[in-house]
Chains A and B, each alone.
Chain A
Amino acid sequence: MFYGTELQNRLFLGTAQYPSPQILSEAIAVAGSEVITVSLRREGREGAGFRDILKDAGCRILPNTAGCHSVREAVTTAQMARELFGTAWIKLEVIGHADTLQPDPFALVEAARILCAEGFEVFPYTTEDLILGEKLLEAGCEVLMPWGAPIGSGQGLRNIEGLRSMRAHFPGVPLVIDAGIGAPSQAAQAMEMGFDAVLLNTAVAKALDPVAMARAFSGAVAAGQEAHRAGLMPRRDMAAASTPVFGMAELA
């Protein structure tokens, strides 16, 4: 449950960098995504033409504060998002470094505290740091969105053990892998590890065929989710033959 909302499809899509709004709409439809994230910092109130097309996609909109570098910028952008989209949901991004686009953990917690107190339902873009995760929950967040790798890097899950620890540390908290996913196999891996959803943009938007890539990711996310539910077999150091060897006929 994401702030009380049950979602079947666990692929959240970003909406930037697509060749056209129409291809974006087709990608969303083909993926069956129920949540799309939309930036506002640069587009502002004057971005209504594009937003209207997104509203027609029929998804739940998760506005984001991408491009914000300070608490104040992020809070102001979130307030504008609530007004423009009529939703309390906000994907909170406070960027610490323009080059790595790594979240600024201190500003993130402060902004989360302010926004939660104002009644926002905050989806914070965070790292796999456990203490930071705890502080965000303490601030009032009910979802955490750890990065897989830096935004747009396509590196996949860069710190798998750290992410595994995070999953184990926050058993009841919806965790969404946000950013850094480049291939469907990486998205499937995240879901197999028990993450609740995957949010990505560049890997689909900048694919040579974004619609086909959206379909591929959707299948991978569903497969990973199903595999986790079904219970993956444990890794073993030795072969374990699937048919018994004992009692085989000796024909020599």
Chain B
Amino acid sequence: MRNTDNRLVSVLGAGVAGLCTATALADRGIAAELIAPAEAPQPASHFAGGMLAPFCEGEAAPDEVVTAGQKSVDWWAAHVPVARRGTLVVAPPRDAAELGRFARATRGHVPADPGALEPDLEGRFARGLFYETEAHLDPREALAQLRAGLAARGVPIHDGPPSGRIIDCRGLGADLSGLRAVRGEMLIVEAPDVALSRPVRLLHPRFPCYIVPRAGQRFMIGATMVERDDAGPVTARAAMELLSAAYALHPGFAEARILELGAGRRPAFPDNLPRLVRQGDRLHVNGMYRHGFLMAPVLAEAAADQIAHDLQEDIHAH
């Protein structure tokens, strides 16, 4: 039996779910510690695009994600720098029908002239969709800032045994039934010839891709979705598909330097919906799938609410 300090909360895992949860606890003044094993693999959020795009995600995600996800933009903006520049969605002329389908499958958009929003796309795409209220951030920067913010507030971050009540945010490392891994592959390039100020999604029936601008003329190009439990190196096929999609969006990507090829495993439940799961006295925040940055703040706040409620009950019980 381990010694448990009932007023302390131990958050397991330092990916986006763990860092948001620990931050939400700290925001409420609840004593917390973050358990971050030094030898843990990079979390899936390390490879994320950092798009806060609830409406675009609604193309495949249920309304829960669209509705809850909208709250996360403000949450992030209260903690880290967020670019509120919206999302632009375009399709190659040959696949223009995809744009109509995407428009019908989502809300929160207006028709847009891509060249008017992103001058670099002038003359390349006649029509687009603009999701004005969406936003993006740099995921690695954001995770580092949350971590620094916790340290600054005196939240211990260590890889020793947990000593409080547990919120398990370890993704695929958690002992939770129903979770599976969905492989995602991405690239980071430096493209001096390309200027984009907001995430751009290129629709394609077989090789959809999104491009998220980052500081220093860098761009994240993502991401594949393969039903495969494998974080091994990016395949040539994935790299070719993503790069040719990027090139179709902007020929300037041909001269880009590839800085990184990354692959991660997204934890997902059968309905691909992130959620809280109560398992005995342990609370799980898991199944972030491709909605980590979008849904982690929402689940983190819900988890912190539950813990605050539990702590209150304990006080009354004693």
Contact = CB atoms under 8 A, between A and B. Distances in A.
Nearest to A152: B205
B23 interface: no
A206 B270 contact: no
Given A43-B227, A50-B227, A152-B205, A22 B180 contact: no
B107 to A, nearest CB: 12
A169 B56 CA distance: 48
A19 B272 contact: yes
Given A19-B272, A25-B270, A152 B226 contact: no
B104 interface: yes
Given A46-B228, A47-B227, A47-B229, A19 B180 contact: no
Interface in A1-52: 19-23, 25, 42-44, 46-50, 52
A23 B180 contact: no
B227 A19 contact: no
B274 to A, nearest CB: 12
Given A22-B270, A22-B271, A23-B271, A47 B205 contact: no
Contact of B206 (A22, A23, A43, A152): A152
B61 interface: yes
Contact of A46 (B101, B104, B179, B230): B230
Given A49-B180, A53-B270, A208-B105, A19 B60 contact: yes
B90 interface: no
Interface in B186-226: 205-206, 226
A49 B183 CA distance: 11
Interface size class of A (residues with CB under 8 A): 20 to 34
B59 to A, nearest CB: 8
Nearest to B60: A19
B58 to A, nearest CB: 10
Interface in A187-242: 202, 206, 208
Interface string A125-160: 000000000000000000000000000100000000
Contacts of A22: 270-272
Interface string B243-265: 00000000000000000000000
Interface of B: 60-62, 101, 104-105, 179-181, 183, 205-206, 226-230, 237, 268, 270-273
5 contacts: A21-B271, A25-B270, A42-B228, A49-B180, A208-B104
